[in-house]
Every structure is written in structure tokens, then in C-alpha cells.
A = this chain, B = another copy of it.
Amino acid sequence: MPNEPQSGKTEPRVVSKWGHERRLEFIDWRLRWEGRINRGDLTAFFGISVPQASLDIARYIELAPDNARYDRSNKVYVASETFEALYPGTTPERYLNELLARCAGVLQPELGFSGWTPPMDMPANLARGVDSRTLLTLLFAIRNAKRVDVSYQSMSAAKPEERQISPHALGYDGFRWHVRAYCHSRGSYRDFVIARVLHASPTQVNALSADADAAWHRRVDLVIGPNPVLSPGAKRVIELDYAMQAGRVTISCRQALLFYTLKRLGLLPGQEAPPEVQQLALINRDDVQAFLPHAT
């Protein structure tokens, strides 16, 4: 099979993906987040044999002898007081991100390492589905660097307009998906909300490259601090919430996502709210302002 040279040779990589190493990471995760692991957890999750599960646990103990002790009466390994995670992936961030992903329906529960998760919830989303044919046309065009003819309903036009675009990336503003593309009709790189693409036709015309999309490639630093009108005590709490150092924290975003990022933080020009709602302020607004579109 000349076209599938990888079939025989990829097995070592695969073994590391689903195999031994992943089972050791699973042991590490369960000990850290649930405080215990036994052979049954491994056989149930991976479908491996009991002897294989014993070997995996023995190997883990060999690598991290101080992380667990065997509780003979309950036939279970219990995390020790001095447990130190062996795998960098088992951080609080990853644990909480896994909860988020489960809650949002992104992660099938059976793919996560957790045997138990707490009840949890987050603000409801106001999203719409995108048309799968449109999405596919855009994806194939990005992948193959081809232009797409779209019928697009913009906010500024009364009726849908025909445009030819060279799409090169997808963007998500927190609510809506858009495609980042060069618009050959307007002569500039723009965002096209996918839901406003009423029709998309593939073409065989080569796309304009993304290299010249300066706003996509340029990064802007946002220096964020507590809202200055808050009391000194309240400011210190906000600093605690966001791990600010010396009253500020810096995040970096693409210029092409600056509008959405500031909007999400309530920091766009014209966005106003009482300080108990708007707890953050943009410290370097003068520097950032120049990177916003002139007309929003």
C-alpha cells in the first residue's frame, strides 16, 4: 500500500498515546484529584487485564515511591500527604478546564480521567448552530488555499451582497463564529460572521495568502487593573481574583480580536457600568486605542 506508508510504522507513537504512559498519567490524576486508585479503576477505564493493571501501578510506585501507600484493608492505593504530581497535565487548571469542557458538552464524559466530578454550572450560552455545508465549504477552502464566493448579509447593507473572499482562519468572539478572510470586493482583510453567510460556493481560484493580514498577526498587550473608583480594600480583592502583581496584569491578544476581547471585559469605549459590575479598568488605554477600528 504505497499510499499508506504510515500504517506499519506509527505503532510506537500510538502506544505512547493510548498505552502505558497514558495509564501512568491516569494513576497520577486519580491519586491527585480523588485520593485513591486501584486495579479496578484501570481495568474499567482502559479495558486492560488485572495483571497489566498491577504492573502499571507497580511501575508508577517505582517512579514516585512517596506518592501513595497501599491500604490493605480496603485494597486500594491512597495518595500520601506528600503527594507530588508526576505529570504536568494534572494541574488545577487542567482539572477545572475538564469540568468546563464537560459542562459545555465539549468533552464526552467517558474521555475524561475523573471517576467523580462535582455538580457545576456556568452562564448559559447564546449561540446558534452554523450551517454545516457553509462550514465545510469554508474549511475546505482554508485547507486548500482557495477562494470562496459568498452571499453575505452585512450589518451595513440592506440586502445580501455577493463577495469573493480568501478565508484563512476561524475566529470566535465568545458568542459567534466568524471566518477571517481577505475580501476581494472591498480590498481588505475582514471578519465574516458565519451565520451571515447565506450561501457559499467553492472556487478553484487560488486564495490570497494570510501573510499580509497585519491585524491578524500583530499582537496587542492589554494592561488591566482594578477599577480605580473601587475602595482600596475592594481593589485588593480584585487583585487577588486575577493574580495581579503591583495592581496590574497583562494579557496579549491579536489586533484582529481586540474589539471582542475588550467587549468581553467591558472595556470598549462607550461601555459603562457601576463599579460593582465593572471591576476592571484598562490602564494602557492610550496605547491600545490606536489598534481599534476607527468605526466599530
A residues near B (Cβ < 8 Å) are 1-8, 10-11, 13-15, 17-19, 32-33, 35, 38-40, 43-47, 50, 53, 74-76, 89, 91-101, 103-108, 110-111, 116, 118-132, 135-136, 139-140, 142-143, 153-155, 157-158, 168-177, 193, 195-196, 210, 222, 224, 233-234, 236-237, 240-243, 249, 251-254, 256-257, 260-261, 263-266, 268, 270-274, 276-278, 280, 296
Contacts and interface: CB of A to CB of B under 8 A. Distances in A.
Given A92-B130, A123-B257, A264-B123, A170 B118 contact: yes
Given A101-B106, A155-B237, A4 B122 contact: no
Decide if the interface of chain A is mainly helix, strand, loop or mixed.
mixed
A202 to B, nearest CB: 12
Given A119-B169, A129-B93, A124 B10 contact: no
B249 A136 contact: no
A162 B145 CA distance: 60
B241 A44 contact: no
Contacts of A98: 106
Contact of A119 (B105, B106, B168): B168
Given A107-B107, A142-B118, A249 B129 contact: no
Given A33-B139, A270-B274, A173 B106 contact: no
Contacts of A38: 3-4
A14 B46 contact: yes
A49 to B, nearest CB: 9
A76 B4 CA distance: 9
